[in-house]
Amino acid sequence: MNYRISVGWLLSALALTVQVVTAQTTTSGKQRYTSLQQALFASGQLSGSSGPRNVNWIDGGNRFSYIADQNTIKSLSPKDQKESLIFDGSQLRFPGTSKPFTYDEFQWSKDSKNILFQANFRPVYRRSGISDYYVYSVADKSLKLVAKDAQTAELAPDGRKVGYERGGDLFVFDFATQQETRLTNDAKPAFYNGRFGWAYEEEFGLAQAWYWSPDSKFIAFWQSDERQVPIYRLTDYAGFDETYDSLPYPRVGDKNPTVRIGVIELANQHKEWMNVDLGDGYIPRIYWTSQEGQLALVHLNRKQNHMRLFMTNGRTGAAKQIMEETATKWIDVFDFFANINHLLYFPAGVQEYYWVSDRDGFAHLYRYDYSGKLLNPVTSGKWEVTYVHHIDPKTRKVYFTSTEAAPTERQLFSIDTDGKNKRRLTTVPGKHTVDFSPNGQYFIDQYSNVQTPTQVELRDVSGKLIKTLETNESVKQYIAGHTYAPKELTSFTTSDGQKIDISIIRPIDFDPTKKYPVMLDIYGGPGAQSVYNEFNTQGWHQWLAQQGYVIVGVNNRGSGGYGRDFEKIVYEQLGKYESLDFSETAVYLAKQPWVDGKRIAIRGHSYGGYMSSYTMLTHPGVFRVSLVGAPVTDWRLYDSIYTERYMGLLPENEEKYKASAVTTYAKNLAGKLFVAHSTMDENVHVRNTFQLMKALEDAGKDADLRIYPPGTHRVSYSATSYVLLHQQYTDYLAEHLKGEPAN
């Protein structure tokens, strides 16, 4: 149920469709938005620049490269701030053609001598797609096709080969011999080497199912077998003859994909399987260690509350369990919403590993040796480590981001590996996102807060400013000339004693003597966080503020950043505490003299759609309107990996599943419900919405439904449909929330 809505793919299209209009002005002389479409497009102007594009640290961290424009890649040296041109593709052509060379993404070789370009990308799932890969030599400016129609590709650390997965098998291309070698040859439909199916990719967060060893001698890979997984079919009902897409999709209780881990030694192409029994569980992560040919392997049981760590021998397959952790709830191995793929770290040069665990109630970093012996906790306190950026084995320093300043902030700290000498490196209040150099000498700090648009700075490891890379003066100028409603942070305490952080956007020209309608715009899923001390860039929120709405975000129970008990209270009872907190937020707001307590709406998409519908039905009368996008309405209809992590297994938890289903409470609807979904949603199937509509109809309850057939999980599928969907949301609020005068 991981969903991060992104409208970047629409902004360029919106730019082409926004008409030039005469702007309205306020009494202060600031321009107002003249249309919803104009406001939606303003999201790009409010976001501004995120600084250098596609940063890659090269030369071991002594320089970083960035895209100056689509045809140009430059580098910058933090030491002397010297810029250099690395790649000029303005005259480059695809090999053997007259077609100008274009690319989607790129990666550097470890020695910074070659660039591997990904071109002609064709999406498959959320993170994956089929592409053609070209190697560019920085020295002689040559470009060569090395892999066509590959799903993933990566340069070997020594720069001498490129590995890739194509058609479910693994290959390497050797630059010295200019030859391709096939490493596996047993792929078949729904049976892959070095590739994940939908479920593993979506719910464990990785697209590439294979890794080079640090010495380039081995490749470790997942072999995935989905042949026993049920097939889901979907169509957009276009044309006169229905055509269906299909994918293996395991729902709760279904047969899962089976995987095993293989290691191939490149010198002799010997393949060995790691001797770890999968059982009915998962292998969500593997890691090369600092010892030659040694692979660490993580195993989770199906309930995902029992984790085992194995050290395996890539040449023999021998495996030894070195660590085991059990929990009463679930154990995380990555953090989707913080874009953190790994919570285990195996730094080079030392026989130690580090693990982020919430075993003491808060997520902290622990240090172990290769036998699995705990050496020491590195961090501790009633706050959370959210990201480990760099572990330096030479200086014995760890650099990490945490919530120590506040759960709504992210600040960078350093600490010794023995847990001493903790030091804060970022000082400006707000949410900091850090990109650390691999040599541990520099970092790029991107941050904002409720008053300040994105700032990007280059600093040394002591925190000293080297260079300001972006100030977004254009954003400051924009909001100086346009109406802008900033986000405010506050909190309240629920009736059962829980402090809840919320954000509030007040209407333009706010008058505290008036009463305003309110919309809670929520998500609410486990581990997610909706409220940060960051700059508000959502154009739709600005439009609603201009129309006289209060917009509120909520860090409900279940959110990440507040500790294990706050987050994992939702275990085996999804919906209960989240909906309570949303309802309590509405009750708290209704007590404010400037809020009309009879005109409060709730809106959400994906897990937020589940919550906006579940809250509406389990707390009837609190919300007048609910806007629901792509909702799960019964967790028995969703995928096994995500759902069983939070709800446990069937049949033992059947009653708990019923209690967490929206459809169970259809008879309680009191108010207006608007639901939007797509028939091509491969993530949350439209069956969820149809079953909710059936339950409502059986109960004699009316609701409004909009179907966008070709859309995926976003629902909208183009710039036009994106604007239309938000127009429907906005019109629905205007008719059913603002339609009755405030009391």
Q: How far is CA 734 from the centre of its chain?
A: 32
Q: What is the pLDDT of residue 726?
A: 97
Angle at 174 between CA 170 and CA 175, to 5 degrees: 140
Residue 6 has a pLDDT of 41
- Taking a C-beta distance cutoff of 8 angstroms, is the pair 530, 541 a contact? no
Res 368: pLDDT: 98
d(CA 734, CA 743): 17
| Angle at the Cα of 385 from the Cα atoms of 201 and 326, rounded to 5 degrees | 65
For the chain (743 residues), the mean pLDDT of every run of 10, in chain order, is 46 40 57 95 95 94 92 95 93 94 93 94 92 95 95 95 97 95 97 96 95 98 97 94 93 97 97 97 98 98 98 98 97 88 95 97 98 98 97 96 98 98 97 96 98 97 96 96 97 97 97 97 96 97 97 98 98 98 98 97 98 98 98 98 97 97 98 97 97 98 97 95 97 90 40
**And the tokens for 671?**
């108010």
- Kindly report the number of other CB atoms within 10 A of residue 552's CB atom: 26
* Torsion angle (degrees, nearest 10) of CA 492, 495, 496, 497: 30
DSSP code of residue 405: S
Q: Are 226 and 189 in contact (CB under 8 A)?
A: no
Q: Supply the pLDDT for residue 23.
A: 47
Are 334-449+452-485 and 498-738 equal in CATH topology?
Answer: no
Question: What is the structure's pLDDT at 24?
Answer: 61
Q: Both tokens of residue 448?
A: 């904002």
Sequence ranges of the domains in the chain = 183-328, 334-449+452-485, 498-738
In 3D space, the residue among 277, 367, 378, 361 whose CA is nearest the CA of residue 319 turns out to be 277
In the prediction, which pLDDT does 28 show?
61
Domain 334-449+452-485, classified CATH 3.40.50.2000, yes or no: no
Beta-sheet pairing, 452-460 with 465-470: antiparallel
At the fourth CATH level, the homologous superfamily of domain 498-738 is: Alpha/Beta hydrolase fold, catalytic domain (3.40.50.1820)
